[in-house]
Amino acid sequence: MIPRYVAIQNSGSLLVSLGLDHVLRTWRRSNEGPSQQITFLEAGAYGLALSSDGQRIATGDGTGHVRVFSSQSNQPIGLPLSLSNTRLWAVALDKRGQLVAAGDEQGTLGLWDVDTGRLIARVRSSHASAISSIAFHPNDDVLISAGGDGIIRQWNAKNLEPVEGTMSGHSGGVTRFALSPDATQLASSDRAGMVRLWDVSTADLQQQWQADDNTIWSLAWSLDGSRIATAHADEAVILWDVESNKAVSKMTPHPGGATDVVFLADGKTLASTSRDGTLRLWDIELGIHIGESLGSPGDTQWRLVSSKMTNLFISTRSNGAVERWDILEMETACSRSAWNEDAKRRYLGEGESPQACVGNN
Protein backbone atom coordinates (compact mmCIF):
# COMPACT_ATOMS: atom_id res chain seq x y z
CA MET A 1 0.00 0.00 0.00
CA ILE A 2 1.36 3.43 -1.00
CA PRO A 3 0.70 6.14 1.62
CA ARG A 4 -0.97 9.38 0.64
CA TYR A 5 1.22 11.39 3.00
CA VAL A 6 4.43 10.68 4.85
CA ALA A 7 6.44 12.99 7.07
CA ILE A 8 9.53 12.30 9.13
CA GLN A 9 10.87 14.34 11.98
CA ASN A 10 14.32 15.94 11.62
CA SER A 11 15.88 13.49 14.04
CA GLY A 12 14.44 10.56 12.10
CA SER A 13 12.84 9.26 15.31
CA LEU A 14 9.22 9.63 14.21
CA LEU A 15 7.50 8.82 10.93
CA VAL A 16 3.80 9.57 10.51
CA SER A 17 1.88 8.16 7.54
CA LEU A 18 -1.71 8.46 6.36
CA GLY A 19 -2.55 5.84 3.77
CA LEU A 20 -5.24 5.24 1.18
CA ASP A 21 -6.58 2.57 3.54
CA HIS A 22 -7.43 5.44 5.94
CA VAL A 23 -4.99 4.09 8.52
CA LEU A 24 -2.84 6.60 10.36
CA ARG A 25 0.39 5.01 11.56
CA THR A 26 3.24 6.32 13.67
CA TRP A 27 6.67 4.73 13.52
CA ARG A 28 9.11 5.89 16.13
CA ARG A 29 12.54 5.12 17.57
CA SER A 30 11.76 6.91 20.82
CA ASN A 31 8.79 7.42 23.14
CA GLU A 32 7.82 10.68 21.46
CA GLY A 33 4.03 11.00 21.05
CA PRO A 34 1.77 12.70 18.49
CA SER A 35 0.66 15.48 20.85
CA GLN A 36 2.27 18.39 22.66
CA GLN A 37 1.31 19.20 26.24
CA ILE A 38 0.43 22.88 26.52
CA THR A 39 0.07 22.92 30.27
CA PHE A 40 -0.80 20.77 33.28
CA LEU A 41 -3.39 21.96 35.82
CA GLU A 42 -3.14 20.31 39.22
CA ALA A 43 -6.86 20.71 39.84
CA GLY A 44 -7.82 19.01 36.55
CA ALA A 45 -8.68 20.49 33.14
CA TYR A 46 -12.34 20.65 32.12
CA GLY A 47 -13.78 23.64 30.22
CA LEU A 48 -11.90 24.56 27.04
CA ALA A 49 -12.09 27.31 24.40
CA LEU A 50 -10.10 28.58 21.43
CA SER A 51 -10.48 32.11 20.06
CA SER A 52 -11.75 32.34 16.48
CA ASP A 53 -8.40 33.71 15.31
CA GLY A 54 -6.67 30.72 16.89
CA GLN A 55 -4.33 32.86 18.97
CA ARG A 56 -5.57 32.15 22.50
CA ILE A 57 -6.67 29.09 24.48
CA ALA A 58 -8.73 29.20 27.69
CA THR A 59 -9.22 26.40 30.20
CA GLY A 60 -11.31 25.91 33.33
CA ASP A 61 -10.09 23.79 36.24
CA GLY A 62 -11.59 21.93 39.19
CA THR A 63 -11.22 24.78 41.69
CA GLY A 64 -13.02 27.57 39.85
CA HIS A 65 -10.06 29.13 38.01
CA VAL A 66 -9.72 30.15 34.36
CA ARG A 67 -6.35 30.26 32.65
CA VAL A 68 -5.61 31.77 29.24
CA PHE A 69 -2.60 30.77 27.12
CA SER A 70 -1.00 31.90 23.90
CA SER A 71 -1.47 29.20 21.28
CA GLN A 72 1.84 30.19 19.70
CA SER A 73 4.12 30.07 22.73
CA ASN A 74 1.97 28.00 25.14
CA GLN A 75 2.80 30.65 27.75
CA PRO A 76 0.11 31.89 30.18
CA ILE A 77 -1.41 35.31 29.62
CA GLY A 78 -1.73 36.97 32.99
CA LEU A 79 -2.61 35.27 36.28
CA PRO A 80 -5.34 32.67 36.86
CA LEU A 81 -8.81 34.24 36.98
CA SER A 82 -10.96 33.16 39.93
CA LEU A 83 -14.72 32.64 39.68
CA SER A 84 -15.51 30.28 42.57
CA ASN A 85 -14.20 27.15 44.24
CA THR A 86 -16.07 24.62 42.08
CA ARG A 87 -15.37 22.92 38.77
CA LEU A 88 -15.65 24.95 35.55
CA TRP A 89 -17.14 22.89 32.73
CA ALA A 90 -17.91 25.87 30.49
CA VAL A 91 -15.39 28.41 29.14
CA ALA A 92 -15.62 30.74 26.11
CA LEU A 93 -13.40 33.31 24.36
CA ASP A 94 -14.65 36.07 22.10
CA LYS A 95 -13.38 35.98 18.53
CA ARG A 96 -10.30 38.10 19.27
CA GLY A 97 -9.53 36.48 22.59
CA GLN A 98 -9.94 39.74 24.51
CA LEU A 99 -12.85 38.59 26.68
CA VAL A 100 -13.20 35.26 28.47
CA ALA A 101 -16.33 33.91 30.15
CA ALA A 102 -16.80 30.90 32.41
CA GLY A 103 -19.59 29.10 34.25
CA ASP A 104 -19.33 26.86 37.32
CA GLU A 105 -21.21 23.94 38.87
CA GLN A 106 -23.30 26.26 41.06
CA GLY A 107 -24.66 28.33 38.19
CA THR A 108 -22.32 31.31 38.58
CA LEU A 109 -21.32 33.10 35.38
CA GLY A 110 -18.24 35.35 35.09
CA LEU A 111 -16.72 37.67 32.47
CA TRP A 112 -13.15 39.04 32.38
CA ASP A 113 -10.87 41.24 30.31
CA VAL A 114 -8.06 38.85 29.37
CA ASP A 115 -5.25 41.39 29.02
CA THR A 116 -5.88 43.21 32.30
CA GLY A 117 -7.36 40.32 34.30
CA ARG A 118 -10.21 42.60 35.40
CA LEU A 119 -13.47 40.93 36.41
CA ILE A 120 -16.09 42.78 34.35
CA ALA A 121 -19.16 41.08 35.76
CA ARG A 122 -20.30 38.11 37.83
CA VAL A 123 -23.85 36.73 37.94
CA ARG A 124 -24.62 34.31 40.74
CA SER A 125 -27.43 31.82 40.13
CA SER A 126 -27.57 32.67 36.42
CA HIS A 127 -28.82 29.10 36.15
CA ALA A 128 -30.48 26.98 38.82
CA SER A 129 -27.77 24.33 38.51
CA ALA A 130 -24.40 23.73 36.83
CA ILE A 131 -23.55 25.70 33.69
CA SER A 132 -22.67 23.13 31.06
CA SER A 133 -21.98 25.22 27.94
CA ILE A 134 -21.30 28.85 26.97
CA ALA A 135 -20.31 30.66 23.77
CA PHE A 136 -19.97 34.16 22.38
CA HIS A 137 -22.09 34.87 19.33
CA PRO A 138 -19.74 35.74 16.42
CA ASN A 139 -20.88 39.36 16.50
CA ASP A 140 -19.53 39.47 20.09
CA ASP A 141 -22.64 41.33 21.29
CA VAL A 142 -24.21 38.32 22.99
CA LEU A 143 -22.99 35.58 25.32
CA ILE A 144 -25.11 32.41 25.39
CA SER A 145 -25.18 30.00 28.33
CA ALA A 146 -26.91 26.69 29.08
CA GLY A 147 -27.31 24.65 32.22
CA GLY A 148 -28.56 21.58 33.95
CA ASP A 149 -31.81 23.44 34.59
CA GLY A 150 -32.70 22.84 30.93
CA ILE A 151 -32.60 26.53 30.01
CA ILE A 152 -30.51 28.39 27.42
CA ARG A 153 -30.08 32.10 28.18
CA GLN A 154 -28.65 35.10 26.34
CA TRP A 155 -26.63 37.90 27.96
CA ASN A 156 -25.11 41.21 26.96
CA ALA A 157 -21.50 40.24 26.27
CA LYS A 158 -20.17 43.53 27.68
CA ASN A 159 -21.78 43.46 31.14
CA LEU A 160 -23.75 40.18 31.52
CA GLU A 161 -27.09 41.96 31.67
CA PRO A 162 -29.83 39.51 30.54
CA VAL A 163 -31.31 40.00 27.08
CA GLU A 164 -34.37 38.52 25.40
CA GLY A 165 -34.10 35.10 23.83
CA THR A 166 -34.50 32.39 26.49
CA MET A 167 -34.84 28.86 25.10
CA SER A 168 -36.33 26.20 27.37
CA GLY A 169 -37.78 22.71 27.19
CA HIS A 170 -34.90 20.31 27.83
CA SER A 171 -36.34 18.14 30.60
CA GLY A 172 -33.06 16.29 31.01
CA GLY A 173 -30.90 19.38 31.43
CA VAL A 174 -28.77 20.82 28.63
CA THR A 175 -25.40 19.11 28.26
CA ARG A 176 -23.98 21.17 25.37
CA PHE A 177 -25.00 23.54 22.60
CA ALA A 178 -23.33 24.64 19.38
CA LEU A 179 -23.98 27.51 16.99
CA SER A 180 -24.37 26.73 13.29
CA PRO A 181 -21.59 27.98 10.97
CA ASP A 182 -23.67 31.03 9.99
CA ALA A 183 -24.70 31.53 13.67
CA THR A 184 -28.43 31.67 12.79
CA GLN A 185 -29.25 28.38 14.49
CA LEU A 186 -28.34 26.78 17.79
CA ALA A 187 -28.30 23.02 18.34
CA SER A 188 -28.60 21.68 21.89
CA SER A 189 -28.45 18.25 23.53
CA ASP A 190 -29.55 16.87 26.88
CA ARG A 191 -29.40 13.96 29.32
CA ALA A 192 -32.64 12.53 27.94
CA GLY A 193 -31.13 11.94 24.48
CA MET A 194 -32.94 14.81 22.77
CA VAL A 195 -31.50 17.15 20.11
CA ARG A 196 -33.20 20.50 19.49
CA LEU A 197 -32.56 23.19 16.87
CA TRP A 198 -33.41 26.83 17.69
CA ASP A 199 -33.61 30.08 15.76
CA VAL A 200 -31.07 32.31 17.53
CA SER A 201 -32.76 35.62 16.66
CA THR A 202 -36.26 34.61 17.79
CA ALA A 203 -35.45 31.79 20.27
CA ASP A 204 -38.12 29.70 18.52
CA LEU A 205 -37.81 25.92 18.41
CA GLN A 206 -37.39 24.80 14.77
CA GLN A 207 -36.72 21.07 14.95
CA GLN A 208 -36.26 18.32 17.51
CA TRP A 209 -35.63 14.61 17.47
CA GLN A 210 -35.00 11.77 19.90
CA ALA A 211 -31.42 10.80 19.13
CA ASP A 212 -30.98 8.39 22.04
CA ASP A 213 -32.59 7.15 25.25
CA ASN A 214 -29.39 8.00 27.14
CA THR A 215 -27.24 11.08 27.70
CA ILE A 216 -25.78 12.98 24.74
CA TRP A 217 -22.71 14.71 26.15
CA SER A 218 -21.85 16.94 23.22
CA LEU A 219 -22.62 17.89 19.64
CA ALA A 220 -21.05 19.79 16.75
CA TRP A 221 -22.02 21.19 13.34
CA SER A 222 -20.29 20.28 10.09
CA LEU A 223 -18.55 23.13 8.30
CA ASP A 224 -21.36 23.46 5.73
CA GLY A 225 -24.13 23.21 8.33
CA SER A 226 -25.72 20.16 6.72
CA ARG A 227 -24.84 17.65 9.43
CA ILE A 228 -24.59 17.42 13.19
CA ALA A 229 -22.43 14.94 15.12
CA THR A 230 -23.53 13.84 18.59
CA ALA A 231 -21.37 12.22 21.31
CA HIS A 232 -23.28 9.59 23.30
CA ALA A 233 -22.83 8.08 26.75
CA ASP A 234 -23.51 4.65 25.23
CA GLU A 235 -20.12 4.69 23.46
CA ALA A 236 -21.08 6.05 20.04
CA VAL A 237 -20.75 9.16 17.91
CA ILE A 238 -23.64 9.53 15.46
CA LEU A 239 -23.70 11.72 12.37
CA TRP A 240 -27.11 13.23 11.48
CA ASP A 241 -28.52 14.87 8.37
CA VAL A 242 -29.98 18.17 9.64
CA GLU A 243 -32.76 18.47 7.08
CA SER A 244 -34.17 14.97 7.54
CA ASN A 245 -33.07 14.32 11.16
CA LYS A 246 -31.91 10.90 9.97
CA ALA A 247 -28.75 9.15 11.14
CA VAL A 248 -26.10 9.01 8.41
CA SER A 249 -23.51 6.90 10.25
CA LYS A 250 -22.67 5.56 13.69
CA MET A 251 -19.06 5.54 14.82
CA THR A 252 -17.92 3.14 17.54
CA PRO A 253 -16.23 2.24 19.84
CA HIS A 254 -15.82 4.93 22.48
CA PRO A 255 -14.97 2.94 25.64
CA GLY A 256 -16.81 4.30 28.67
CA GLY A 257 -18.82 6.67 26.47
CA ALA A 258 -18.06 9.44 23.98
CA THR A 259 -17.49 12.77 25.77
CA ASP A 260 -16.91 15.29 22.97
CA VAL A 261 -16.73 15.64 19.20
CA VAL A 262 -15.47 18.27 16.72
CA PHE A 263 -15.23 18.61 12.94
CA LEU A 264 -11.72 19.44 11.73
CA ALA A 265 -10.98 22.24 9.28
CA ASP A 266 -10.48 19.89 6.32
CA GLY A 267 -14.21 19.14 6.36
CA LYS A 268 -13.43 15.44 6.02
CA THR A 269 -12.46 14.41 9.53
CA LEU A 270 -14.07 14.13 12.96
CA ALA A 271 -12.17 13.98 16.24
CA SER A 272 -13.81 12.44 19.31
CA THR A 273 -12.87 11.77 22.93
CA SER A 274 -13.85 9.01 25.35
CA ARG A 275 -14.10 8.45 29.07
CA ASP A 276 -11.31 5.90 28.91
CA GLY A 277 -8.84 8.68 28.03
CA THR A 278 -8.44 7.95 24.33
CA LEU A 279 -9.02 10.14 21.29
CA ARG A 280 -10.11 8.96 17.83
CA LEU A 281 -10.19 10.33 14.28
CA TRP A 282 -12.96 9.40 11.82
CA ASP A 283 -13.51 9.69 8.08
CA ILE A 284 -16.82 11.58 7.85
CA GLU A 285 -18.03 10.25 4.50
CA LEU A 286 -17.12 6.62 5.13
CA GLY A 287 -17.89 6.66 8.85
CA ILE A 288 -14.75 4.66 9.63
CA HIS A 289 -12.01 4.99 12.22
CA ILE A 290 -8.73 6.45 10.91
CA GLY A 291 -5.81 4.57 12.37
CA GLU A 292 -5.28 3.59 15.98
CA SER A 293 -6.74 5.42 18.97
CA LEU A 294 -4.60 8.28 20.23
CA GLY A 295 -3.63 9.15 23.77
CA SER A 296 -3.22 6.74 26.65
CA PRO A 297 -6.07 5.01 28.49
CA GLY A 298 -6.63 6.40 31.96
CA ASP A 299 -7.83 9.86 32.87
CA THR A 300 -10.92 10.95 30.92
CA GLN A 301 -10.58 13.19 27.88
CA TRP A 302 -13.39 15.71 28.49
CA ARG A 303 -13.30 18.54 25.98
CA LEU A 304 -12.17 19.21 22.41
CA VAL A 305 -11.82 22.40 20.40
CA SER A 306 -10.59 22.69 16.83
CA SER A 307 -9.07 25.47 14.78
CA LYS A 308 -11.18 26.88 11.95
CA MET A 309 -8.07 27.41 9.82
CA THR A 310 -5.95 24.27 10.31
CA ASN A 311 -6.44 20.66 11.37
CA LEU A 312 -5.00 21.41 14.78
CA PHE A 313 -7.20 20.49 17.74
CA ILE A 314 -6.84 20.69 21.52
CA SER A 315 -8.11 18.46 24.33
CA THR A 316 -8.41 18.52 28.13
CA ARG A 317 -8.04 15.64 30.58
CA SER A 318 -9.37 15.17 34.08
CA ASN A 319 -5.77 14.73 35.31
CA GLY A 320 -5.06 18.34 34.29
CA ALA A 321 -3.34 17.85 30.93
CA VAL A 322 -4.14 20.28 28.11
CA GLU A 323 -2.78 18.83 24.85
CA ARG A 324 -2.30 20.08 21.29
CA TRP A 325 -2.73 17.61 18.41
CA ASP A 326 -1.49 18.48 14.93
CA ILE A 327 -0.78 15.08 13.37
CA LEU A 328 -3.10 15.81 10.43
CA GLU A 329 -1.73 19.30 9.80
CA MET A 330 0.64 18.79 6.90
CA GLU A 331 2.06 22.31 6.93
CA THR A 332 3.20 21.84 10.52
CA ALA A 333 4.52 18.37 9.84
CA CYS A 334 6.42 19.44 6.73
CA SER A 335 7.98 22.45 8.43
CA ARG A 336 9.84 20.13 10.81
CA SER A 337 10.34 17.08 8.60
CA ALA A 338 13.26 15.76 6.60
CA TRP A 339 13.24 12.67 4.43
CA ASN A 340 15.08 9.69 5.88
CA GLU A 341 15.93 6.89 3.44
CA ASP A 342 16.40 4.25 6.14
CA ALA A 343 12.95 4.91 7.61
CA LYS A 344 11.39 4.92 4.13
CA ARG A 345 12.85 1.49 3.36
CA ARG A 346 11.72 0.05 6.69
CA TYR A 347 8.13 1.18 6.07
CA LEU A 348 7.65 1.02 2.29
CA GLY A 349 10.21 -1.48 1.14
CA GLU A 350 12.19 -0.97 -2.03
CA GLY A 351 10.75 0.46 -5.24
CA GLU A 352 7.76 2.38 -3.83
CA SER A 353 7.48 6.16 -3.74
CA PRO A 354 5.14 8.06 -1.39
CA GLN A 355 3.59 11.49 -1.82
CA ALA A 356 5.67 13.47 0.67
CA CYS A 357 6.29 17.07 1.66
CA VAL A 358 7.50 19.22 -1.22
CA GLY A 359 11.16 20.03 -0.77
CA ASN A 360 11.66 17.39 1.93
CA ASN A 361 12.16 14.30 -0.19
Write the pLDDT tens digit of every residue in 300-312.
989 999 988 888 8
Q: Output b/e per residue, 142-179; b: 16+ Cβ within 10 A.
A: bbbbbbbbbbbbbbebeebeeeebebeebebbbbbbbb
pLDDT digits 0-9 by tens, 87-115: 999 999 999 999 999 999 999 999 999 99
Q: Is residue 214 scored above 70 in pLDDT?
A: yes
Higher pLDDT, 20 or 283: 283
Which pLDDT score, from 0 to 100, does residue 1 have? 41
**Better-predicted residue by pLDDT, 163 or 341:** 163
The phi, psi pair for 13, rounded to 5°, reads -85, -15
Strands 142-147 vs 65-70: parallel, antiparallel or unpaired: unpaired
Residue 32 CB neighbours (<10 A): 11
Comparing CA positions, the residue from 157, 155, 151, 196 lying closest to residue 173 is 151
Write the pLDDT tens digit of every residue in 13-42. Answer: 444 555 444 454 444 433 445 678 888 898
Q: What's residue 124's pLDDT?
A: 96
Cβ-in-10-Å burial (0-12, 13-18, 19+) of 138 comes to middle
Quote the percentage of the chain above a pLDDT of 70: 81
CA distances from 46 to 170, 172, 184 (A): 23, 21, 27
The domains located in the chain, with CATH, are: 1-34+327-361 (no CATH), 41-326 (2.130.10.10)
Cis peptide before 181 (omega within 30 of 0): no
Residue 168's pLDDT band, with cuts at 50, 70 and 90, is very high
Q: What is the mean pLDDT of the chain?
A: 84
Q: What's the whole-number mean pLDDT along residues 191-199?
A: 97
CA–CA distance, 11 with 8 (Å, rounded to integer):
8
> Binning pLDDT at 50, 70 and 90, where does residue 213 land?
very high
pLDDT tens, 43-87?
899 999 999 888 999 999 999 999 999 988 889 999 999 999 999
Distance CA 244, CA 83 (A): 42
Dump pLDDT digits (tens) for 216-260: 999 999 999 999 999 999 999 999 999 999 999 999 999 999 999
Radius of gyration of the chain (CA): 21
Confidence label for 334 from pLDDT (cuts 50, 70 and 90): very low
Confidence of residue 290 (pLDDT cuts 50, 70, 90): confident
User: What digits encode the pLDDT tens for the residues 200-211?
Assistant: 999 999 999 999
